[in-house]
Amino acid sequence: MKVHKKGYLLIELSKTDSIWDYELVNRALKEYRRHGSIWINTFRVALDELAAAGLINSTDKKLDDGSHVGPEKVLFKYHLTEFGRTRMRETGLL
- Would you tell me which residues interact with other proteins (CB under 8 A)? 1-7, 10, 34, 39, 42, 46, 48-55, 57, 61-63, 65, 71-74, 79, 81-83, 87-88, 90-93
* 30/61 with CB nearer other proteins: 61
Cα dihedral 38, 39, 44, 46 sign? positive
CA-only gyration radius of the chain, Å: 13
* 5/27 with CB nearer other proteins: 5
Q: Which helix (H) or strand (E) holds 66?
A: none
* 30/63 with CB nearer other proteins: 63
